[in-house]
Chains A and B, each alone.
Chain A
Amino acid sequence: MSAKIRSILKSYAFLRLIRAIVIIIVVISISFFIVRLMPGNPVDLYIVYLETTYSMPYQQAKAMATAIFGVNLNEPLYKQYIEYMINVFRGNLGRSMFMNGMPVIKIIAQYLPWTVFTVGTGLLISFIFGILIGMAIAYRRGGILDSIITILSSVLNSVPNYIIAMLLIIIFGDYLGVVPFSMLRGAYSSNVIPGWNIPFIMSVIQHAIFPIFTYVITTIGGWILLMRGSTISVLGEDYITVARARGLPESKIMTTYVVRNAILPIFTNFTIAVAFIFSGSVLVEDIFVYPGIGLRLLQAINQRDYPVMQGIFLIITIAVITANYLADVLYGLLDPRIRVK
C-alpha cells in the first residue's frame, strides 16, 4: 500500500496540484495585503464614507466595515490574515457594500455560470473548428484557400472582441435591422420560467448566441494560425515521411502522427486563452448587457465595491490556475516526454 501511495505522491498530476494550490494561496494572500496595506485602503475609506454620509459613529461604522469585508479590524494584521484565509476557504468572501450587503459568494454564484457557459462554448467551438481548419489548410499550404484563410485569420486575430461585438450590433441591429438587440439583454427573456423547458432553453440560446459568436470570431483566427504552423512543422518531420514509407494508411498517419503531435504546443495556448477570454468578457458582456461575471465586475468597479471586485478577481484567478493545471496534466497524458519518471 505504501508503494502505491508513494507513486501517487510522486506522480506528475499530484506535484502539479500542489503547485497550483500554492499559487492560489499566494494570490489570495497578495490580494489581502494589497487591499489592507494600501494608503487609504478601501476598509478605511468605507469607514470614512459611512461616517460622513450617514453620520454614523466611528465604532458602528467600523463594525459594519468588519462585517462587509469579513475581517475583524480590531485584531492585529496577522490574525486578520489568518481569519481572512479561513473565511476564503470556507467560501466566505465578504459582502457587497451595496445590494443590502449580499454575500459576495452568492453574487458570484449568480453571475459566473453565464460567463462559464458563453465563454466555455465559444472557446470550445473556436478551438475545435480552428484546429480542423488550420490542419486542412496546412495540408493544402500554398493554395488559394490557404492564402485567403491565413490573411482572414490574421485580421480576425488582431481585432479586439469589443469592436466585433459593436460591429455585430451595428450590422444586425441597426443596418440590417434583423435582430432586436434591446430584447436580448439579460441571460433570458422575462416571460419564460427558468428550468428544463423548451422556451427557456431557446431563450437562453438566443440571448447567448451573440456573445458566443463574438468569442468564436475573435479567437478562431488564432487557433487556425497556430494549428496551421504547428501542422506544417510536424508534416516536415522525418517520422511522417517514415510513417508513409512504412506503408501506414494516410488516415492513421493523420490521427496518430499529425494531430497528436501538432496539437501539443497548442495546448499551452489553450490555457492562456481561458484567461484572456475571462478578461475579455468584461467589455463584451457590457456591450450585449449579458449578466455574466464580466458585467458584474464592471459594475463593482464603477461602484468601488471592493469586496465584490476582490471576490471576482479571486475567482478569475482560480479559474485560470485551474485551467492551467488541467492543461498541464492533460499535456502530460498526451506527451510522454513531459511525464516525470
Chain B
Amino acid sequence: MSNSELILSIRNLTVKYRSRRGYVNALRNINLDIYRNEAIGIVGESGSGKTTLALAIIRQLPNNARIVSGSIIFYNDGNKVDLLTMNYNEFRHYLWEKIAFVPQGAMNSLNPVLKIRDHFIETVKAHNPDASKEEIVRKAREVLKITLLDPDRVLNSYPHQLSGGMKQRVMISLALILNPAVIIMDEPTSSLDVVSQKIILQNLKDIMRMFNVTMIIITHDMGVVAEVANRVVVMYAGKIMEVGDVESIFYNPLHPYTQGLLKAVPKLRGETELYSIPGEPPDLVNPPSGCSFHPRCPFAMDMCTINEPSLKEVNKGHLVACFKYET
C-alpha cells in the first residue's frame, strides 16, 4: 500500500440475529481497518458473516438483526464520523454518495417497473435535486461505457430485457454515478457464467485503475480475490481469522482455515482428488467454545477448546487469530 490513509475503521462490531432457536451470532467482535483506494477481499464460506458485515456498514441489516456493540468510523475529508450512531437522515446522504453497495445476485437489484435510465435519474436526484436530467444521462452514458455496455440500448431498457451479467454491470455503473469513496461488492461474480465473470473482473480492475475508490469485495471465490484484491480478510463463524496482503495469504497462509480454503481450490494440474475441510460449518446459535474452528482444525490443541485466540500481528501487516503463532 503506497498510501495507507484510513477510510473505514470497524471496532468491536457484534451483530446478532433473532431467530426461533435463539440469537444467531452473525458477527463477533470484528476489528478491521480499511485503507483509502485499496481493494480488500473478504472471503469465507456461507454464513461466515460476510454479507452481514456489508449490510452493517450501510445500515441495511434486516429487522431481526441487532447491533450489540461496536462502531464503524468513516474518515471523510479529515473528519471522523461514526456511521452507526449518526442520525439516519444524515446517513442517507452518505449512502451511495460515499459508500455504494452492489448486492449479491444483482438480477433482482433493479426495480422491474422502471427503465435503467430512471434508476440513474432517481439516484442522482435523491442526492442532488437540482441536477438536470440531461446532465445525469450524460454521466450515466460515461459510467455505462466503463462497464462496456452500450448506453443507447441499456438506458432505454427495462431490467427484464437485460441478461444477468448486464444487470450486474448496470449495478456497477450505477454504483459509480455519484463517485463514491467506497464501493462494496457482495459476490460480484456468483451466479454468472464464466464469460460474464471475466468481463466483470475486468470492469473491477478498470475501475480500480481509473477511479480513486476503495473496493470491498465479498466473495467465497479465491480466484476472484487473487484477481482483483490487494488485501484479504478471511472470516469464519462471524469472526476474522486472518488478515494480510494478497501475496502473504496465498503464499504463506497462517491460519489452518485459510490453508484449508486454499487447498480446496481446484488446480489445473497435479492432484486429482479435491481437498475439502472436514466437518461442518459451526452452529452460530451455540458457537463452539474457544476457537470456533477447533472442531475442524487438524492442529487443535487443548487450549483451543477453552480460550479464544485474538487477532495478532505475526508479520508486518499480516494478522492471524490462532494459538499456533502465539508461543
Instruction: Sample 15 A-B pairs with CB under 8 A, ordered by A number.
Output: A237-B108, A238-B104, A238-B109, A241-B60, A241-B103, A246-B123, A247-B92, A247-B96, A247-B126, A252-B126, A256-B114, A260-B111, A261-B111, A336-B158, A337-B112
Output the least CB separation between B267 and chain A (Å). Answer: 34
In the complex, the answer to whether A245 meets B101 with C-beta atoms within 8 Å is: yes
| Nearest B residue (CB) for A235 | B63
Output the least CB separation between A96 and chain B (Å). Answer: 49
Output the least CB separation between A67 and chain B (Å). Answer: 55
In the complex, the answer to whether A247 meets B97 with C-beta atoms within 8 Å is: yes
In the complex, the answer to whether B126 meets A249 with C-beta atoms within 8 Å is: yes
In the complex, the answer to whether A336 meets B103 with C-beta atoms within 8 Å is: no
In the complex, the answer to whether B95 meets A245 with C-beta atoms within 8 Å is: yes
In the complex, the answer to whether B113 meets A334 with C-beta atoms within 8 Å is: yes
| A246 and B95 in contact, given A238-B103, A336-B160, A337-B160 (Cβ under 8 angstroms) | yes
Interface of B, helix, strand, loop or mixed by DSSP: loop
Restricting to B105-126, which residues have a CB under 8 Å from any CB of A?
Answer: 105-106, 108-115, 122-123, 126
Restricting to A233-255, which residues have a CB under 8 Å from any CB of B?
Answer: 237-239, 241-249, 252
Restricting to B96-153, which residues have a CB under 8 Å from any CB of A?
Answer: 96-97, 100-101, 103-106, 108-115, 122-123, 126-127
| Nearest B residue (CB) for A249 | B126
- A174 interface residue per 8 A CB criterion: no
Output the least CB separation between B2 and chain A (Å). Answer: 30
| A242 and B126 in contact, given A247-B95, A336-B160, A337-B158 (Cβ under 8 angstroms) | no
In the complex, the answer to whether B108 meets A239 with C-beta atoms within 8 Å is: yes
B66-98: CB near A (< 8 Å → 1, else 0) gives 000000000000000000000000001111110
Q: Pick from B94, B97, B109, B123 the residue with the most CB of A within 10 Å.
A: B109
Q: How far is the CA of A237 from the CA of B111 in the complex (A)?
A: 9
Q: How far is the CA of A334 from the CA of B122 in the complex (A)?
A: 18
In the complex, the answer to whether A243 meets B111 with C-beta atoms within 8 Å is: yes
Residues of B within 8 Å of A241, CB to CB, are 55, 60, 103
| A242 and B114 in contact, given A248-B122, A252-B126 (Cβ under 8 angstroms) | no
Q: How far is the CA of A245 from the CA of B122 in the complex (A)?
A: 13
Number of interface residues of B (CB under 8 A): 31
In the complex, the answer to whether A245 meets B112 with C-beta atoms within 8 Å is: no
Q: How far is the CA of A248 from the CA of B103 in the complex (A)?
A: 16
**Out of A242, A247, A248, which one reaches B109, CB within 8 Å?**
A242
Restricting to B221-248, which residues have a CB under 8 Å from any CB of A?
Answer: none
In the complex, the answer to whether A238 meets B105 with C-beta atoms within 8 Å is: yes
**Out of B58, B112, B174, which one reaches A335, CB within 8 Å?**
B112
| Nearest B residue (CB) for A341 | B161
In the complex, the answer to whether B58 meets A245 with C-beta atoms within 8 Å is: yes
| A245 and B60 in contact, given A238-B108, A256-B114, A335-B112 (Cβ under 8 angstroms) | yes
Residues of A within 8 Å of B111, CB to CB, are 239, 243, 256-257, 260-261
Q: How far is the CA of A242 from the CA of B119 in the complex (A)?
A: 11
**Out of B92, B93, B101, B158, which one reaches A242, CB within 8 Å?**
B101
Q: How far is the CA of A55 from the CA of B3 in the complex (A)?
A: 112
Residues of B within 8 Å of A238, CB to CB, are 103-106, 108-109
Residues of B within 8 Å of A256, CB to CB, are 111, 113-114, 122
Output the least CB separation between A238 and chain B (Å). Answer: 4
Output the least CB separation between A288 and chain B (Å). Answer: 41
In the complex, the answer to whether A252 meets B95 with C-beta atoms within 8 Å is: no
In the complex, the answer to whether A252 meets B108 with C-beta atoms within 8 Å is: no
| Nearest A residue (CB) for B160 | A337
**Out of A237, A249, A260, which one reaches B92, CB within 8 Å?**
A249
Q: How far is the CA of A264 from the CA of B103 in the complex (A)?
A: 25
Q: How far is the CA of A244 from the CA of B55 in the complex (A)?
A: 11
| Nearest B residue (CB) for A260 | B113
**Out of B97, B105, B112, B126, which one reaches A336, CB within 8 Å?**
B112
Residues of B within 8 Å of A336, CB to CB, are 112-113, 115, 158, 160
In the complex, the answer to whether A239 meets B126 with C-beta atoms within 8 Å is: no
Q: How far is the CA of A244 from the CA of B103 in the complex (A)?
A: 12
